[in-house]
Amino acid sequence: MSEHYFSKTPSSPERPGLLMCRLRGHDFEFVTSSGVFSHRRIDRGTRLLVESMVLPEEGGLLDLGCGYGPVGIVAAKLRPGLRVLMTDVNERAVDLARANARRNGVADVEVRVGDLYEPVGDEVFGAIVSNPPISAGLHRVVEPLVVGAVGHLADGGTLQLVVQSRKGGRALASLVERHLGGCEVVARGGGYRVLMGRMG
Ligand SMILES: C[S@@+](CC[C@H](N)C(=O)[O-])C[C@H]1O[C@@H](n2cnc3c(N)ncnc32)[C@H](O)[C@@H]1O
């Protein structure tokens, strides 16, 4: 089977790289590698999500499908004291996210490996934020991500997802609408949109 960025254990040789970028008014450095999503530059969708994400006042934030860590690490930098959990199925991505948390001075974030909500147990959050792996399958992975959010969001908590408007945008919006009872477009740009659903 060919290798994807969402392989559990990428077999491609690790080729490290360094991304430097400014997000939400702060400078960040991220170590990346082949075998993880968008390892040469920060993805445009990720940037839109990070620039527009609404951080919860309380209850913690889950960055599901964290890759090398940009979403959760920026959240932790902006809101010290916020409980941030980052998860990914790709072990190489998880190792990079841990290293990048230390590198960017937010060592107290937690990073766990595993499929969807399996590494989360029964924890609930004020926000679940993700650039979801559309290529892993809308029905196989992304729909369970949306359905699972219902059991892992506190009352009033938000699910925030970025998607390419022309590659799954409409389908994802209707999933959020169906399972969370509403879906708002909170940001648009460069062919992407950020969708938000709220519990309760
Ligand atoms: C589009 S990438 C986003 C990565 C990172 N958040 C970013 O914005 O650069 C989606 C991520 O979801 C991860 N992923 C794919 N299937 C998954 C699953 N079943 N459970 C958890 N993470 C998964 C991939 O490994 C990948 O890192």
- What does the pLDDT read at residue 117? 98
Does the Cβ of 89 fall within 6 Å of ligand 1? yes
List per-block mean pLDDT (blocks of 10 residues) for the chain, which spans 200 residues.
Answer: 68 87 98 95 98 94 98 97 97 97 96 98 98 93 97 98 96 97 97 97
Domain-located, residue 112:
yes
Give the pLDDT score at 65. Answer: 98
Task: Say if 5 falls within a structural domain.
Answer: no
Most informative mutation of 96, 98, 112, 131 for ligand 1 (most atoms within 8 A of CB)? 131
Encode burial over 23-43: b for 16+ CB neighbours within 10 A, e otherwise. beeeebebbbbbbbbbbeebb
- How high is the pLDDT of residue 74? 98
Query: Which of 66, 84, 92 gets mutated to test ligand 1 (max ligand atoms within 8 A of its CB)?
Result: 66
Please tell me the predicted confidence (pLDDT) of residue 3: 60
Residue 2: the pLDDT is 47
pLDDT at res. 8: 78
- Asked if the structure places residue 74 within a domain, the reply is yes
Asked if residue 1 belongs to a domain, the reply is no
Residue 4 lies in a domain: no
3 found inside a domain: no
Domain containing 71: what range?
16-198
Residue-level pLDDT at 14:
81
CB-ligand 1 contact for 65 (6 Å cutoff): yes
Tell me whether residue 77 is in a domain. yes
Q: Quick one: which of 21, 73, 72, 15 has its CA closest to 43? A: 21
Domain membership flag for residue 184: yes
Q: 99 is written with which tokens?
A: 């290293």
Please, which residues have CB within 8 angstroms of residue 134's CB and are 6 or more apart in sequence?
142, 163, 164, 167, 168, 172
CATH of the domain at 116: 3.40.50.150
Distance CA 148, CA 146 (A): 5
pTM of the model: 0.96
In short, whether 6's Cβ falls inside 6 Å of ligand 1 is yes
How many domains are contained in the chain?
1
Residue 130 Cα: closest atom of ligand 1: 6
Q: Is the CB–ligand 1 distance for residue 104 below 6 Å?
A: no
